[in-house]
Structure 1
Amino acid sequence: MPDAQHLFLFVVAGVLLNLTPGPDVLYIVGNAIRRGAKAGVVAAVGVSAGCFVHIVAAAVGVSALIAASATAFNLLKWAGAVYLLYVGARLLLAKSAAQRWESQSSPPASGDTGLWSVFRGGFLTNALNPKVAIFFLAFVPQFIPPDAGNEALAFLGLGVVFNINTVAINSGWALAAAWVARSGAVQRSLRWLDRAAGLMFMGFGLKLALAENPTR
């Protein structure tokens, strides 16, 4: 693990990165607005679970293989792009509020099954994004000291620290969105929010589909 100063810098950098909105934050905020703070926090936990996939993969070298192999990168890229486009299309084509966010979570607003679907959607939004894998390969090693005895273990440790920050900040997004959703104006605008979110998800999907392997 890095010394206290480098660990502090790592935490600060991670916080700033997690504050940047993207498909993960959009998914969390959408569920929080639609289903309340609990669903938003569950979505945040799902996103962090997907993040752990990339952390472990990078630590054991799988992400390095994805970065080096155009085929592996493209397979994961297209899987993620198709998923984001699917989510966006479902939101755009929803005919009523009853169908809202159906692509990411289950129809009931409560219950273990519904929350599991919310968790799964968050997991897939993050786990199917190869750019997250590349990010960890590029970002985390900068904070591992050259004399680290076990680089893989140091990578995992920093990954856990990053993910703890991720859960905290994304839960903050969820709680803030749920609080804002109490406004009557927001509730009356849910259908337009569906459309806007659908366009944003499709935009993220197209951006991912057009992305090139940044390491090549």
Structure 2
Amino acid sequence: MSYTFFAMLGLFAVNVMTPGASFVLTVSNAMKHGRRSGLLIALGLATADTMFAAMATAGLAALVSQNVLLVKAVSLLGGMWFACAGIRLILKQKAAQLPVEAEKTAGNLLMGPAYRLGFSAGAFNAQAILFFSTMFIGAISSRPDLREAIALVAGVAAVSAFTRSGIVTLFTTGTVMRFYATQRRKVETVSGGMLALFGLKIATPAALVLTQSMLAIFAHSPKTENLLQTHAKLDFRKCESAQYGIAEDLDHARCSHALRR
């Protein structure tokens, strides 16, 4: 295993710790619902990371990265998902105070919903998809053998689970939870706003690219070309008639252009 791979794992750990949509989602839910729920969300995110690593070693991530529209579609869905999650977090604020100890926090999410929340967030995380389809592939050999592939996937799974669990543990300590208990409304408002902004930041460029692509496809469709050709022929005939004084109200510049064609 080359040093490049270990450097990539370190970069991946830094990427996980960098505040982003999945980071805010994990921390906000861990402080709101308790450490157990946060760890389950972290496990779901780690599962999604492991899935992407397995796809990358199998060569599927390279195929996905070459399809720009597919990547943008995933980015749009993921951005909308995070934006909706942020809006829901803001709208579902409650005035009730949480206990100081995270382990005793009431209102824990059930195991299934908490895990699915984390996995869904990870599966639609466009940044993770781009990471595993670019930097991760660049750090591995073109055809890793079975043992190397297993080591690669296991390394990503371990780093993701360890880093995300450490984040949850840090933000569910007594000091942090006491602060959260007194500033819950503000924390949830800021967290929800950040989630929504991250989601819009991801979704907006993707929506623009997809819209431009759809317009380009429509402009080059056979029906559209036939329609444009029909209008061009009509303009040409009207302009020919205008030369003989039959249609005096036509735009002369438009006629000159049509006749030149």
Q: Cα offset for 1:154? A: 3.5
Give the total of aligned pairs: 198
Listed one character per residue, the Cα deviations across residues 66-95 of structure 1 (whole Å, up to 9, x for unaligned) are: 222233122211211111111011122225
Q: Cα offset for 1:23? A: 1.5
The answer to whether the 8 Å contact 1:82/1:205 transfers is yes
1:68–1:142 Cα change, 3 Å: closer
The within-5 A match list for 1:31-110 is 31-97=29-95, 109-110=107-108
Q: Cα offset for 1:97? A: 4.2
The within-5 A match list for 1:1-216 is 2-3=1-2, 5-97=3-95, 109-110=107-108, 114-145=110-141, 150=145, 154-155=148-149, 157-179=151-173, 180-183=175-178, 185-211=179-205
> Counterparts of 1:48 and 1:130 in 2: how far apart (Å)?
15
> Counterparts of 1:15 and 1:81 in 2: how far apart (Å)?
22
**Normalising by the residue count of structure 2, what TM-score does the alignment of the two structures yield?**
0.67
1:126–1:195 Cα change, 3 Å: same
Larger radius of gyration: 2
Q: Higher relative CO (CA 8 A, sep ≥ 6), structure 1 or 2? A: 1
Q: Cα offset for 1:7? A: 4.7
Q: In structure 2, list runs of 5 or more residues that go unmatched.
A: 97-105, 210-261
> Counterparts of 2:50 and 2:64 in 1: how far apart (Å)?
16
1:172–1:149 Cα change, 3 Å: closer
Question: Which amino acid in 1 is paired with 2:127?
Answer: K
What is the DSSP-based 3-state SS (H/G/I as helix, E as strand, rest coil) of the residue aligned with 1:182? helix
Listed one character per residue, the Cα deviations across residues 89-133 of structure 1 (whole Å, up to 9, x for unaligned) are: 1122225247xxxxxxxxx724xx712211111111110123312
The answer to whether the 8 Å contact 1:144/1:155 transfers is no
The answer to whether the 8 Å contact 1:43/1:118 transfers is yes
Question: Which amino acid in 2 is paired with 1:30?
Answer: S
- What percent of counterpart residues are identical? 21
Q: In structure 1, list runs of 5 or more residues that go unmatched.
A: 99-107
